[in-house]
Amino acid sequence: MSSTSTILVLLIAALLHCHIGITKAQLDIGVNYGMDGDDLPSPATVVQLFKNYSIGKMRLLEPNNDVLEALEDSNIDVTIGIKNEDLPSIASSPQAAGVWFNEHVQPFIPLMNFQYITAGNEVVPGDLAKHVLPAMQNIQNVINSYNYTGLRVTTAVEIAALEGFDPPSKGASAQNARADMVGIINFLSNTSSPLLVNVYPYFKFASDPDHVRLDYAQFTATSPIVQDGNFSYYNMLDAIVDAFYWAMEKEGVSSVDAVVSESGWPSAGDGLWTTPLLAQTYNQNFLKKFIARQATPKRPDHYLEGFIYGMFNENKKPAGVDQHWGLFNSDGTPVYPVFTKV
């Protein structure tokens, strides 16, 4: 074989190798792995399901060492949460923070891609909220003591932390949450960490379907629904995320990005507006947006991450829509198609 032919063969082989790598690459999207069910598959089966559908990120609302062991060497990015009820002890005691970290994070770091630790989830304003920031600080100090880089500490908030989002430029911290939020977002700014926000257009639509447009809630509008100065909004998720950006900027913080830590649409539980088709439409469009790295009108050049809620229908949750957010049934079959199996 001539040298030219040899080079050509090697080039073709390299191109084929790259193509294979692309087709098997994990998607830049996450799914929340909720475990509030009595019929769910084993952690090892769940991790394999993530891999079968190329889901690149997993969020755990609370630590589960069986799941963490199953995730070893999986190449799946992991977000792990501190339970709300554990915040007071971790906030008040650096030793408790160290115990928590050394039990649920440290043993798995050599074999796992930890992305975020979230201090609580949707902590409502009140007595518990005051523990979020000191818990974050204590966990951050533990991370610093190990000289770990790349592992970020944050918290997850919901729209109740906002006072208005329509239009997004009206976004401001809710008065009953402001004192806690200002400290939190300044911590995030100082540590280059994002704010996790749980965004559910379904609830806004379902509470007022006569006035909230379905296409605005489902990413299907073909023309702007909300015009906010120079910013045009085709979907509600972008509007809510940008309202958080506006709220942070009004507190003097402009360097903190947002991560959509939960979003989805229930497939049953509340009649006309909770069908498999509507859930499929929402989650397919959510997936398209985030794997295309489409950010928001206010910050179009910023990287925006997203996580769907959730992996499974969870039958131990309260009856109604709470039980029907899952992408998959307990036997691993899709409730409706969103991801493509590899």
Among 306, 283, 284, smallest CA distance to 294 is for 306
Segment 268-273 long-range contacts (CB within 8 Å, at least 24 positions apart): 268/321, 268/323, 268/324, 269/319, 269/320, 269/321, 269/322, 269/323, 269/324, 270/206, 270/320, 270/321, 273/202, 273/205, 273/206, 273/209
User: Measuring CA to CA, how many Å separate 142 from each of 72, 109, 174, 290?
Assistant: 22, 14, 31, 32
Say what the alpha-carbon torsion angle 266, 268, 273, 278 is, to the nearest 10 degrees.
60
CB 291 within 8 A of CB 305: no
Quick one: tokens of 265?
């649409």
Q: For 105-247, where are the E strands, in sequence order?
A: 113-121, 152-157, 195-198, 226-228, 231-233
DSSP labels, 60-97? ESS--HHHHHHHTTS--EEEEEE-GGGHHHHHH-HHHH
- How many Å apart are CA 331 and CA 126, to the nearest integer? 40
Q: Which of 62, 85, 103, 122 is flagged as catalytic?
A: 122
- How many Å apart are CA 179 and CA 159, to the nearest integer? 16
- How many Å apart are CA 96 and CA 121, to the nearest integer? 19
- How many Å apart are CA 305 and CA 32, to the nearest integer? 13
Q: Which of 158, 262, 305, 314 is flagged as catalytic?
A: 262
122 catalytic? Reply is yes
Residue 51 burial (CB < 10 Å; 0-12/13-18/19+)?
A: middle
- How many Å apart are CA 10 and CA 197, to the nearest integer? 47
314 catalytic? Reply is no
Catalytic residues: 122, 262
